[in-house]
Amino acid sequence: MSEKTRRLFAALPFEDASVSDSLTGIINELNIFRKDLKIVVKENYHITLKFLGDVKPETADKLIESFKKIDTGESPVPFELKGLGCFPDYSRPSVIWAGIICDIKPLLGIQKIIEYWSSTFGFEREKRRFTPHLTLARVKRDRMIEPVLKDFIRNNRETFITRSLFSECVLYESILHKSGPEYKKIASINF
C-alpha cells in the first residue's frame, strides 16, 4: 500500500477582505468569459513563494515543524494591488493577474529564506526570477481568449485596485477536488 502524499506550498495570503472586495468589478468582467477561463476563488488568493509538490507524510511533518520556527526578520509589508496583465504575453495568455507594487526587497528576502528552508529538505531551488503577482484566472487548455478580453486587460494595465499589507507567510496543503483546489492552512509565521 502506498503512502498518501500531501501537496504543499508556501505563500503570502491575501486575507484582507478589502482585497477581494476591491476585485469584485474585475472578477465580474472576467466571469463573462468563464467558458474560456478558470477563475480563482477569493479564498485562494495568494502569492506563491515555493511550490513543494507531493510530499511524503514523514517529510511533511518535519517541514511543518521546521516552518513554524522560521524567523523572516521582517515587519508587515505594505503593497498596492495595481494593474492587470497576463503571462506569457497578450498574444496568447495563459494566466491573467493583478500586479503587486511594493518595496520588493522584503518580499525577495522572505522568498530567499523560504528557498533556503526548502533546500535543507532536498527541494530544488527555483531557477525562475520571483515575480510577485495575484493570479486571477487561468485560460483553460486549448482555449483562446477573445480580443475584447485582451483589450480589457490592456485597458486596465495601470488601474489602481487597493492597498493592504502582507503580514504572514503560510504553509498550505492543496487538496484537489473536481470543483477546483482547496487550500488548507497548516502552519503560519507572522511578521
| φ, ψ at 110 (rounded to 5°) | -65, -45
Whether pLDDT at 82 is above 70: yes
The predicted-structure confidence for 102-125, as pLDDT tens digits, reads as follows 999 999 999 999 999 999 999 999
Residue 175 — left, alpha, or beta (φ > 0 → left; ψ -120 to 50 → alpha)?
beta
The predicted-structure confidence for 160-169, as pLDDT tens digits, reads as follows 999 999 999 9
How far is CA 148 from each of CA 96, 109, 116, rounded to the nearest angstrom?
Answer: 14, 38, 43
Run of H or E including 6? strand 6-13
Whether pLDDT at 128 is above 80: yes
- To 5 degrees, how large is the angle CA 72–CA 22–CA 176? 65
Domains of the chain: 19-190 (3.90.1140.10)
* pTM score of the predicted model: 0.89
- Spatial CB neighbours of 138, under 8 Å, sequence gap ≥ 6: 37, 38, 40, 94, 95, 96
Query: Which whole number is the average pLDDT over 133-137?
Result: 97
Q: How many CB atoms lie within 10 A of CB 63?
A: 23
Quick one: pLDDT at residue 80? Answer: 97
What is the average pLDDT value for the chain, to the nearest integer?
94
Whether pLDDT at 91 is above 90: no
Query: Which whole number is the average pLDDT over 174-182?
Result: 89
Whether pLDDT at 99 is above 90: yes
Residues noted as catalytic: 46, 133
